[in-house]
A = this chain, B = another copy of it.
Amino acid sequence: MSGNTFGKLFTVTTFGESHGQGLGCIIDGCPPGLALSAADLQPDLDRRKPGTSRFTTQRKEPDEVQILSGVFEGETTGTPIGLLIMNADQKSKDYSKIKDVFRPAHADYTYQQKYGVRDYRGGGRSSARETAMRVAAGAVAKKWLAERYGVRIRGCLSALGPLQVTDTDWDLVETNPFFCGDAQLIPELESFMTQIRREGDSIGAKLEIIADGLPPGWGEPIFDRLDAEIASAMMGINAVKGVEIGDGFDVVNQRGSEHRDELTPAGFLSNHAGGVLGGISSGQPLTVKIALKPTSSIQVPGQSIDVNGEVADVITTGRHDPCVGLRAVPIAEAMLALVLMDHALRQRGQNADVASPTPVI
């Protein structure tokens, strides 16, 4: 209710602040019998963690996750899975400069208004550092979905500033710090990002996340639609300002005769809908696109006020991600996995009896 739990049958509740003692989460509702160890979670955490290229923040966080419960003799038992990452880079910095100032585009002002108090160290709870736990929990969901249903979830860069990915070779995506599957674009991305970083500025990005292999029938019909919950999951990622399913905003200028995905005995003829009809999966690939705003912490000076409403200078020092979008691919994949797993369980709960589980097409 207070916003730190995601999901209904497969729930993830997280805690922890950027510069606190550590981050943790409790996964409740994981079915028993899934082989699981910390080694299953670490790869996605490593894909998200800072300091892996010169285009991300240089904060040193090994982000080593421990499983504290819910796994016995290498398998999940159906009881809650407690995960913990202790913070390493927790030096007692001098925060006097930011203590009373609201950094523009950050959540400083809104947290102060909401709670009347805030942990100002590194953004506290509003830091993107919190997403480490979403990634860890998402890795559990990804594994279950893959083993139980053959669902595969993957994401890539779609655009960075003015640079558009025209075609994605999935074999390339994990070989560069941009999650870019367009070989020709990579050198351009490098020089563009170097330039942005040199200017002390930042840039937005667009990502695409695709899930394939899921059966038709997942998602609820009116309010908890699969696409609605995906939209919530994605808009809930730090910096995301837009979400599209299938053709997204392109539908504004489409005709009905163009948009509708016709059916034949061999399957759908197109996938403008992005794998969801009436809030329920159609069995086609689920395609999601998201827009991420440029990093808020930049070295370009800006105007702001302090907690007393008086003019204050904002000076950001240290190196930050010049594009937060770059580290968001594993986060968005994780969130999509959490939504899908929740709906897989919900579909089983209500509709396990449904006569024909075999898709017509």
| A137-165 interface bits toward B, Cβ cutoff 8 Å, 1 = contact, 0 = none | 00000000000100000000001111000
**A222-B356 Cα distance, complex, nearest whole Å:** 35
Answer whether residue A330 sits at the interface, using C-beta atoms and an 8 A cutoff: no
| CB of A82 to closest CB in B, whole Å | 4
**Most chain-B Cβ atoms within 10 A of its Cβ — which of A16, A126, A256?**
A256
Which residue in B78, B80, B118, B302 is a CB contact (below 8 Å) of A262?
Answer: B302
Answer whether residue A56 sits at the interface, using C-beta atoms and an 8 A cutoff: no
* Residue ID in chain B nearest A356 by CB atoms: B116
* Residue ID in chain B nearest A262 by CB atoms: B303
Which residue in B114, B148, B276, B281 is a CB contact (below 8 Å) of A353?
Answer: B148
Which residue in B70, B117, B256 is a CB contact (below 8 Å) of A105?
Answer: B256
User: A256 and B202: CB pair below 8 A?
Assistant: yes
| CB of A102 to closest CB in B, whole Å | 6
Residues from chain B with Cβ under 8 Å of A1 in the complex = 1, 8-9, 11, 28-29, 220, 224, 346, 349
User: B256 and A305: CB pair below 8 A?
Assistant: no
User: B29 and A13: CB pair below 8 A?
Assistant: no
Query: Interface-forming stretch among A45-53, A169-177, A178-186, A287-295?
Result: A287-295
User: A3 and B251: CB pair below 8 A?
Assistant: no
Which residue in B217, B231, B255, B277 is a CB contact (below 8 Å) of A203?
Answer: B255
| A202-241 interface bits toward B, Cβ cutoff 8 Å, 1 = contact, 0 = none | 1111100000000111111111110111111111101001
**A317-B271 Cα distance, complex, nearest whole Å:** 25
**A229-B231 Cα distance, complex, nearest whole Å:** 8
Residues from chain B with Cβ under 8 Å of A17 in the complex = 69, 72, 79
User: A259 and B9: CB pair below 8 A?
Assistant: no
- Tell me whether A78 and B115 are in contact in the complex, defined as CB-CB below 8 angstroms, given that A217-B110, A247-B241, A310-B265 are known contacts: yes
Answer whether residue A39 sits at the interface, using C-beta atoms and an 8 A cutoff: no
Which residue in B114, B280, B309 is a CB contact (below 8 Å) of A111?
Answer: B280
- Tell me whether A309 and B278 are in contact in the complex, defined as CB-CB below 8 angstroms, given that A29-B1, A223-B4, A350-B9 are known contacts: no
Answer whether residue A191 sits at the interface, using C-beta atoms and an 8 A cutoff: no
Sorting the interface of chain A by its residue count into under 10, 10 to 19, 20 to 34 or 35 or more gives 35 or more
User: A303 and B264: CB pair below 8 A?
Assistant: yes
- Tell me whether A3 and B220 are in contact in the complex, defined as CB-CB below 8 angstroms, given that A16-B82, A110-B280 are known contacts: yes
Answer whether residue A75 sits at the interface, using C-beta atoms and an 8 A cutoff: yes
User: B221 and A228: CB pair below 8 A?
Assistant: no
User: A350 and B31: CB pair below 8 A?
Assistant: yes
Answer whether residue A32 sits at the interface, using C-beta atoms and an 8 A cutoff: yes
Residues from chain B with Cβ under 8 Å of A298 in the complex = 256-257, 260
Residues from chain B with Cβ under 8 Å of A247 in the complex = 241, 293
User: B9 and A28: CB pair below 8 A?
Assistant: no
Answer whether residue A248 sits at the interface, using C-beta atoms and an 8 A cutoff: yes
- Tell me whether A252 and B206 are in contact in the complex, defined as CB-CB below 8 angstroms, given that A77-B125, A345-B350 are known contacts: yes
11 A-B pairs whose Cβ atoms sit less than 8 Å apart in the complex: A20-B69, A32-B115, A72-B118, A79-B125, A102-B263, A116-B351, A116-B356, A242-B245, A242-B248, A256-B298, A265-B309
Closest 6 CB pairs of A and B: A107-B278, A3-B220, A349-B349, A202-B256, A105-B260, A232-B232
